[in-house]
Amino acid sequence: MLATSDPAPESEADAMDPQIARARITQSMDTGVTLDERLEMLIEVRDRCEDPDLFAAASLNLGTLYLGLIDEQPERYSDAVNAFRSADKRGITMPIRVRARYNLGHAHHSLAKSMASNLTAEAMQDIDELLTALKSQVVILQSSAGAFRSVMELDPKDQQAASNTERVRQQIKQLQDQIAEIEQMIKDEKQRQTEQQEKQQEQADKLKELAEQQQSEAQETQDSPPKDEDEQEKQKSDQTELCTETESTQEDINQQNDTQKTQQVMDKIEEAKEAQKKAQQAMDEGNQKEAGEQQEKAAQSLKEAADAMQALADESKQQGQGEQGDQGEQQDDAGKPADEESKESQESEPKDQGADSDQIDEIAKQLLDKERRERESREAYKATGRPTKVKKDW
């Protein structure tokens, strides 16, 4: 069991003599000492030594040990961050504060790297989960860039800190470009869905119009059958025009929609076309009673097709409204262009490295819970004796 990093209350231990503290710190650097013993020595110095620089040195070394454990024990991320922040805050000598800020940048970057490497295939298939993961990585990387940049406040000539800052910002820019591309894809898909819903509504309205026209023709045939050849020709012409419009509407629906979703609509249109065809045959034979009955059947089938098409249009509309409600009009700093993010970070990061600590801690907590579950799963898998899969680096 590794030593805890929680500070002990001052009442539980007397202040440690600086010479003893210095000896303990030196001893903790001996690789021959076990990890548990090294942690215990550094925690004791941190909790009992009142000398600010010795406290800072112990915190720095403690954070460095935790940093080396993050891959196997992700829960140590918060311990490492807190240790480096304490070393920077309490430290007096420049080298210790520089190293604390530098290692803080590495701790943040390690978390972002772990988040990326643990992004599952399932998460990558879920667009909302993928966006959340990418934006969380950006938040962590922004803190990493801020920590590296703050090193240059203490040592403007630190070239490595400058290089790391730029490297992390390039990673941020890549993620932001990826986020922007995904969000544009979502926007385009929403636009496509809106256009499809509008088209489905137009098609439903057209089918309703055809049903009403067909019903009107049926009523006229039954109530006022043609009396002469001219009226018969007009009746046939009107029915032929309805048949043509029905055929055209069917083709339009077939081209613009998923055929599986519109199967019921197409079946009803086919029924209507068959009845229309029989009505035309009856007209040619002068059987007005049969013609009227078939026109009535065609009108009913067109009405049922219109109702089915309306149901599809309503479903598409509800889906669009639901997605819009889920997405809202959220704006996330993670989606800002890199140059805008850089300007803000230049102003805020050096002043307060812990400005995003609450958000980072929550993200870290979620990641650590996920890491714990996956580690337990890996251990169970290893127990089966089967070969272990190796994850690629980020």
Q: Are residue 257 and residue 317 in the same domain, yes or no?
A: yes
CATH of the domain at 201: 1.20.120.660
Q: Are residue 134 and residue 246 in the same domain, yes or no?
A: no
Q: What is the pLDDT of residue 387?
A: 47
Predicted TM-score (pTM) of the model is 0.63
Q: Are residue 21 and residue 120 in the same domain, yes or no?
A: yes
User: Does the residue 120 lie in any domain?
Assistant: yes
d(CA 285, CA 232): 11
Q: Are residue 147 and residue 234 in the same domain, yes or no?
A: no
Task: For 71-121, write each residue's pLDDT tens digit.
Answer: 778 888 999 999 999 999 999 999 999 999 999 999 999 889 888 887 766
Q: Are residue 310 and residue 350 in the same domain, yes or no?
A: no
User: Does the residue 392 lie in any domain?
Assistant: no
User: Does the residue 109 lie in any domain?
Assistant: yes
Q: Are residue 149 and residue 212 in the same domain, yes or no?
A: no
Q: Are residue 171 and residue 199 in the same domain, yes or no?
A: no
Task: For 269-328, write each residue's pLDDT tens digit.
Answer: 999 999 999 999 999 999 999 999 999 999 999 999 999 999 999 988 887 666 555 554
Full domain range(s) for residue 223: 191-327
CATH of the domain at 147: 1.25.40.10
Q: Are residue 279 and residue 131 in the same domain, yes or no?
A: no
Q: What is the pLDDT of residue 180?
A: 95
How many distinct structural domains can be found in the chain? 2
Task: For 332-365, write each residue's pLDDT tens digit.
Answer: 444 454 444 444 343 333 333 433 455 445 554 5
d(CA 211, CA 369): 59
Checking if the pLDDT of 48 tops 80, the result is yes
User: Does the residue 75 lie in any domain?
Assistant: yes
Q: Are residue 20 and residue 158 in the same domain, yes or no?
A: yes
User: Does the residue 73 lie in any domain?
Assistant: yes
Q: Are residue 181 and residue 201 in the same domain, yes or no?
A: no
User: Does the residue 391 lie in any domain?
Assistant: no
Q: Are residue 374 and residue 230 in the same domain, yes or no?
A: no
Q: What is the pLDDT of residue 377?
A: 66
Q: Are residue 306 and residue 359 in the same domain, yes or no?
A: no
